Structure 1
Amino acid sequence: MIKKIVTAAVFTLLMCCKPAGDFKSKIEDPEHLHQTIKKVTDIIVHDIFSPPVASRIYAYVSVATYEAARHQDSTLLSLEGQLHGLADVPQPEKGKVYCFPLASVQAALKMARVLIFSEDELDKYSQQLLAEYQHSGMPEDVYQRSVEFGTAVAEHVAKWSTKDNYKQSRSFPKYSIDQKDSTWKPTPPAYMDAVEPHWRKIRTFVIDSASQFRPASPPPFSTDKRSHFYALALQVYDVGKSLTPEQQEIARFWDCNPFVMNVKGHVMFATKKISPGGHWMNIVRVACRTSNANAARAAEAYVRVALSLADGFIACWDEKYRSQLVRPETFINQHIDENWVPLLQTPPFPEYISGHSVISGAAAQALTGVFGDNFQFTDSTETEFGLTARRFKSFAAAADEAAISRLYGGIHYLPACDTGLVMGRNLGVYITNTLRTRESNLSLNQQP
């Protein structure tokens, strides 16, 4: 009887890819997954993907990661049939031993390689990471089987990704500038073309359509000094002239502009930064480390946040190019002070609504669903860009700060921040309640 119990225990450890010794410590360590997602972020920054496109990359990479990692935890459910168009995801062969943490990072790397430009840089990282697994004491057949499974999942997700209308949208016409005072115009110093004017046409992941969470229309445009709209513009102007050091720090911390054009005399050069979605994906890593989440749990957190970000950008961009509202910088320069410059560089797309506010509200809701409310954490995302880490008492508090930072930065009127945050939270609640990664979403934040 004792022999049977011991045999069963050993078999369970093997099937979960948790053998003893160095092999066990290597495969149980969720840092391999965290480092892989961070590497994807670094390449996204280097390749200068726009915020919407970056969110698409995170979504597909995270789906591939999750579908490979979930088999390590028998309580996790597949996303097939839940995400639009995703079906028949490859399954591991019954009775065979796999290392699912290895399969998950392989799936992430293979999926990312399809979507980024700097393939050589990703390949170098991939070779180093896989070598760690291969030399960990893992049986060669387990290693090969796990790598092949991760590759199969990534190839399946990659094929699914080709049907989301992204490739077709690359040839859609550019944004046509309307000369009316109320509509968006390119802003200094780069006067860049409008970013992704057709993003609303990308297939959504969880929400029914791009317009499902359509917000109220923006305040009526007016140049009348007695109007509400003029007062909103004047508020941006006044706040910008009297920013406290704390408000400036908040604005810069949440800037997350992937491409800032710097002008020094006759020289122009770009500064690359993390995207808004990348900032929240980094918060996932912080939360996982704080809560000691294992690799499967981390994959679940990443995919829930990534899908909330991706659908959040689609919904936000739907409204941006419907209302096409002029940015504060343009309005203020034309009607209040021609020499005024916002603290932050104005991003190249319409004002209403605030993308930061939408995706922050959505991501915070996703994180709260996984880790619970009142989850205190220190966000060190921006330290590599020379900024100080910030402490938050909850994910919702971080989203609140991200939203108001856009007013401090001088790039949004207040309604875009407030309404965007509400819209993002509503979208986030919908995805949290609709997407099932476990039998009961109510037990999400009770899992180890």
Structure 2
Amino acid sequence: MKKCVFSLLLLIFAGSFAKGGTDWRSTTERPVYLHRAMKQVTDVMVHDIYSPPVASRIYAYVAVAAYEAAHHADAGFVSFGGQLKGLSSLPKPTAGKEYSYALAAVHAMLLVAEAMVISEQKIKTEHAAMMEEIKNAGMPDEVYANSVAYGKIIAEKILLWASKDQYKETRALAKYPLSNDNRSWQPTPPAYMKAVEPNWNKLRTFVIDSAAQFKPARPTIFSTDKESRFYQEANDVYEIRLKLTNEQTEIANFWDCNPFKMNINGHVMFATKKISPGGHWINITALACKKAAAGLVQSAEAYVKVAIGLADSFISCWDEKYRSRVIRPETYINQHINKEWTPLLQTPPFPEYTSGHSVVSSASAVILTQLFGDHFSYDDSTELEFNIPVRHFNSFNEAAQEAAISRFYGGIHYMPSIINGLDEGKKIGFFIVNKLRTRRTAKPVAVRTSK
């Protein structure tokens, strides 16, 4: 008799799990779906060929949406409501209702992504697949419905906030007027593309006070005099191209991150697509989260801090680019040193100063170091899908330094742009980690001066 009762209890207990008992959380309340969703966003942005600034904006809003839904899973984390420019308080989960915050976060992230990308159907397909997978993990119908509804509310609030950041207004502004003087940026071969996002500094920032808050030192004064500093800096770019080592070439190609490279083969022109600089650092964030076994909320925190750092870094960097309008090495060298010279990498279609890679990499390194530590080593496999081998780094700062110098090896930046860009990004990174609060108890991070 006792055996029958025991067997009956086991069946009832097992049935409760099958119908949606507590066991569903061990399957769904993990960061795996968050990582998959972010990778899908990246893949679609590569497909749609978003410029680096535009990609950074999308990353910021999808990451904020995910974090705002996810952070309720841990009472030690706080909302960004009232912290980010223009973002008021956000709706909280209804007391007494049960939620899957992983589901709500993924749903919010992908709803925002669908509204912001061209290939929304690609997002919708993966979105539907993940939702079905989560639902089939044994989650109770009521929990599923609560979570979907909450994710939708967060997404709607984030999209309303995003609609007021001046992005749409910049679409209607005048195009960049080319200057006739010989010191300003000009379109470069092979596609001679128009200037990318000349009005990006008009966008609302996320954390920094304004686009010009971290305005870098002025660029070197233009000159064609062979004894001038500007000529020597251009000549340094010219000469390094002639004696690049295999290692330097590998570094340049690894960090190229050109979303749209135009290739010419005889009379045939075709484009190749790759991840953006911001996308590369978002993927590094994913690698760090996985290596550190970061949970759902910690992973959402890492994504959102890095994404916000990227967005503000591009606004700051682009503000300087179109203020100084510095001529690219390729143009200057062809006109004043050697008309046959070509850079290793294809020159991007916007002014030279400061180096975007330097700014965003330095800012990202500061933020990731604050989250994961000074000596966090990792293997960066980001570029494997583009047939570029894995590189190992002993710290995020080491990676940022390499990303920056890669632009010198690639022949697309003078050294001051790299050095001052690193400094600009570092200041932005420290400003963000000290001003943006994700945890109820957090210590300020000391700003380190450049050596």
Question: If the TM-score is normalised by the length of the shorter chain, which range does it land in?
Answer: over 0.9
* Counterpart position of 1:9: none
Structure 2 distance, partners of 1:263, 1:287, is 37
Q: How does 1:19-98 map to 2 (within 5 A)?
A: 20-21=22-23, 23-98=24-99
Residue 432 (structure 1) aligned with residue 437 (structure 2)? no
Secondary structure, in 3 states, of the residue corresponding to 1:442? coil
Q: How does 1:98-113 map to 2 (within 5 A)?
A: 98-113=99-114
Structure 2 distance, partners of 1:431, 1:412, is 26
Distance 1:197 1:241, change over 3 A: same
* Counterpart position of 2:304: 303
- Contact in 2 for aligned 1:432/1:441 (Cα 8 Å): no
Distance 1:443 1:236, change over 3 A: closer
Deviations 1:133-155 (A, max 9, x none): 11110000100110110011010
Structure 1 distance, partners of 2:177, 2:73, is 50
Deviations 1:180-207 (A, max 9, x none): 1110000000000000000000000000
- Contact in 1 for aligned 2:257/2:275 (Cα 8 Å): yes
Deviations 1:245-292 (A, max 9, x none): 000000000000100000000000000000000000000100000000
Structure 1 distance, partners of 2:349, 2:137, is 48
Residue 314 (structure 1) aligned with residue 334 (structure 2)? no
Deviations 1:390-447 (A, max 9, x none): 1111101100000000000000000000100011001100000000001233399xxx
Deviations 1:93-117 (A, max 9, x none): 0111000011000000001111101
TM-score, normalised by the number of residues in structure 2: 0.93
Structure 2 distance, partners of 1:19, 1:421, is 51
* Counterpart position of 2:422: 421
Cα deviation for residue 25 of structure 1 reads 3.0
- Contact in 2 for aligned 1:183/1:325 (Cα 8 Å): yes
Amino acid corresponding to residue 260 of structure 2 in structure 1 = F
Cα deviation for residue 369 of structure 1 reads 1.1
- Contact in 2 for aligned 1:263/1:269 (Cα 8 Å): yes
Structure 1 distance, partners of 2:26, 2:122, is 27
Q: How does 1:277-426 map to 2 (within 5 A)?
A: 277-426=278-427
Give the paired residue count: 426
Amino acid corresponding to residue 298 of structure 2 in structure 1 = R
Amino acid corresponding to residue 263 of structure 1 in structure 2 = I
- Contact in 1 for aligned 2:302/2:368 (Cα 8 Å): yes
Gaps in structure 2 of 5+ consecutive residues = 1-19, 446-451
- Contact in 2 for aligned 1:258/1:273 (Cα 8 Å): yes
Deviations 1:294-317 (A, max 9, x none): 111100000000000000000000
Amino acid corresponding to residue 354 of structure 2 in structure 1 = I
Residue 142 (structure 1) aligned with residue 150 (structure 2)? no
Secondary structure, in 3 states, of the residue corresponding to 1:404? helix
- Contact in 1 for aligned 2:114/2:121 (Cα 8 Å): no
Structure 2 distance, partners of 1:129, 1:102, is 9
Amino acid corresponding to residue 440 of structure 2 in structure 1 = E
Structure 2 distance, partners of 1:20, 1:78, is 27
- Contact in 2 for aligned 1:403/1:421 (Cα 8 Å): yes
Identity of aligned residues (%): 55
- Contact in 2 for aligned 1:257/1:274 (Cα 8 Å): yes
Cα deviation for residue 88 of structure 1 reads 2.4
Bigger Rg over Cα: 2
- Runs of 4+ more than 4 Å apart: none
- Contact in 2 for aligned 1:62/1:302 (Cα 8 Å): yes
Structure 1 distance, partners of 2:83, 2:30, is 29
* Counterpart position of 1:206: 207
* Counterpart position of 2:7: none
Structure 2 distance, partners of 1:141, 1:443, is 41
Cα deviation for residue 31 of structure 1 reads 1.2
Structure 2 distance, partners of 1:120, 1:112, is 11
- Contact in 1 for aligned 2:29/2:101 (Cα 8 Å): no
Structure 2 distance, partners of 1:161, 1:292, is 31
Distance 1:323 1:443, change over 3 A: closer
TM-score, normalised by the number of residues in structure 1: 0.94
Structure 1 distance, partners of 2:225, 2:444, is 53
Cα deviation for residue 20 of structure 1 reads 4.1
* Counterpart position of 1:13: none
* Counterpart position of 1:117: 118
- Contact in 1 for aligned 2:58/2:116 (Cα 8 Å): yes
Secondary structure, in 3 states, of the residue corresponding to 1:86? coil
Structure 2 distance, partners of 1:433, 1:19, is 41
Pairwise CA RMSD: 1.1
Structure 2 distance, partners of 1:411, 1:146, is 47
Secondary structure, in 3 states, of the residue corresponding to 1:441? coil
Structure 2 distance, partners of 1:128, 1:43, is 16
Amino acid corresponding to residue 305 of structure 2 in structure 1 = R
Structure 2 distance, partners of 1:194, 1:142, is 49
Distance 1:248 1:19, change over 3 A: farther
Structure 2 distance, partners of 1:322, 1:167, is 22
